[in-house]
Amino acid sequence: MKYLPIDKNLFIKNRKNFTAKMKPNSLAVFNSNDIYPISADSTMPFEQHRDIFYLSGVDQEESILVLFPNCPKEKHREILFLKETNDHIAVWEGEKLTKEAAFETSGIQTVYWLKDMEKIMFELMTQCDTIYINTNEHYRANVETQTREDRYTKWLKEKYPAHSVAKSNPILQRLRSVKDPIEIELMQKACNITEKGFRRLLNFVKPNVWEYEIEAELMHEFLRNRSKGFAYTPIIASGNNANVLHYVQNNQQCKTGDLILLDVAAEYANYSSDLTRTIPVSGKFSKRQKDVYNAVNRVKKEATKMLLPGTMWADYHVEVGKIMTSELKGLGLLDKADVQNENPDWPAYKKYFMHGTSHHIGLDTHDYGILTEPMLPNMVFTVEPGIYIPDEGFGIRLEDDVVIQEKGEPFNLMQNIPIEVEEIEELMNS
Ligand code: GLY
Ligand code: MN
Ligand code: MN
């Protein structure tokens, strides 16, 4: 791992919060992700399943966490099963967690090797009535593969068909959406690394630079700051590419007069940041580009002010839509008739701003959070309005990550990342 050790109290607290929500006499199981194959012996880089990470800090494949808060044997109330390691295995397979290191990471005292899992699980299953299984109920999830978690669940349900089943996901959605101060610190770190990358670009972007050269600059800056890289596939979209919302080819040359939409951000310790800035290739916005840019920036500022405890996600989006509609009228992109005749299910503003304004962010870029429940302090949201105008050859989006406060406006984790037109122009020309 490139990141510095995380205070294990975070994981101890997270487990305490999770087990407090479990039914009596129940047990919960969480699995690592698989290492996904490419072909031959090639594999994708390992990405830990965020739930087992959240509850243990274990960032290693083939790991299982079991929580059984009422287990008659105290030492079995929290168990980690890990891939075996010893000095010999370490030489061949590289460093893996020892039992001592697993305790240092997670605060879990009982660590067994994976080969003992079935036998120990048999004992635990005879002692509990309900098993919590971990399904993926994220509102954007679209998974075709069978995960390691799915395989384990299938095995458990087949082997122990008489147990009742409960869902871990709703508990985790609620817990993970409200961030601990240690998590906010880690997310601030991810945002600070992103800031370094963005500032580097302001000195680097010049007419005729290629989009992939920009990507390379960012990757360089992220890696040298202990990030493993981008928190999500970067979008580096010059000119009309910005109007393809999920443009990820990043293979075009940036032309004088064009804007570049950069939806690019670092991860740190598996926590995402999510930034969008839109900058002029030549270091200066045209009058029209500036007008649209400032309109997006005003919508962003007004939207941010609405992220308060108690706000409902759906109402918030309706209000942002109204502000955006007024800005689009000001820019001459919509007129009165467009708005009067609009379809309430797809309001007129959606022609130029067709995506949502905010999403939860944390261990996943589009993080857990139940969108039909009111917003709470210490939830972290993005704010990312945009205006996309293919007919004019550019699209503008601006995006920051903000933490909802008990009182007052949200705290912007990206407050130091240049956003005002004048600051961007000055930095690009200094
Ligand atoms: N970069 C992904 C998003 O903004 O949602
Ligand atoms: Mn986003
Ligand atoms: Mn983004």
CATH number at residue 215: 3.90.230.10
Range of the domain at 64: 9-176
pLDDT score for 89? 85
Q: How far is the CA of 133 from the centre of ligand 3 (A)?
A: 31
* Residue 168 shares a structural domain with residue 206: no
Q: How far is the CA of 140 from the centre of ligand 1 (A)?
A: 12
* Residue 165 shares a structural domain with residue 304: no
Specify if 281 maps to a domain.
yes
What's the pLDDT band for 145 if we cut at 50, 70, 90?
A: very high
* Residue 163 shares a structural domain with residue 98: yes
CATH number at residue 97: 3.40.350.10
Q: Which of 9-23, 81-95, 268-282, 378-392 has the lowest mean pLDDT?
A: 81-95
Output the ligand 1 site: residues, CB below 6 A. Answer: 232, 263, 274, 359, 365, 384, 399
Which domain-ending residue is among 176, 192, 219?
176
* Residue 141 shares a structural domain with residue 215: no
pLDDT score for 92? 83
List the residue whose alpha carbon is closest to atom 3 of ligand 1: 274
User: Of 72, 80, 75, 64, which is closest to residue 24 (Cα–Cα)?
Assistant: 72
Specify if 1 maps to a domain.
no
* Residue 171 shares a structural domain with residue 185: no
* Residue 143 shares a structural domain with residue 200: no
Whether residue 50 contacts residue 364, with contact meaning beta carbons closer than 8 Å, is answered with yes
* Residue 191 shares a structural domain with residue 306: yes
Specify if 419 maps to a domain.
yes
pLDDT score for 94? 82
Which domain-ending residue is among 149, 176, 203?
176
* Residue 289 shares a structural domain with residue 360: yes
Q: How far is the CA of 275 from the centre of ligand 3 (A)?
A: 5
State the ligand closest to the CA atom of 230.
1
pLDDT score for 235? 98
What does the CA dihedral 265, 267, 268, 270 come to, rounded to 10 degrees? 160
What's the pLDDT band for 119 if we cut at 50, 70, 90?
A: very high
* Residue 371 shares a structural domain with residue 322: yes
Domain count of the fold of the chain: 2
Specify if 294 maps to a domain.
yes
Report the chain's mean pLDDT, rounded to a whole number.
97
pLDDT score for 93? 78
pLDDT score for 91? 86
Specify if 2 maps to a domain.
no
User: Of 6, 91, 95, which is closest to residue 54 (Cα–Cα)?
Assistant: 6
State the ligand closest to the CA atom of 275.
3
Specify if 218 maps to a domain.
yes
pLDDT score for 86? 86
* Residue 190 shares a structural domain with residue 322: yes
Which domain-ending residue is among 154, 176, 198?
176
Structure tokens at 174: 């609620």
Whether residue 117 contacts residue 64, with contact meaning beta carbons closer than 8 Å, is answered with yes
Specify if 224 maps to a domain.
yes
Specify if 279 maps to a domain.
yes
The whole-angstrom separation of Cα 324 and Cα 300 is 9
Residues whose CB is under 5 A from ligand 2 (ion)? Answer: 274, 382, 384
Q: How far is the CA of 179 from the centre of ligand 1 (A)?
A: 19
pLDDT score for 265? 98
pLDDT digits (tens, 9 = 90+) for 203-234: 999 999 999 999 999 999 999 999 999 999 99
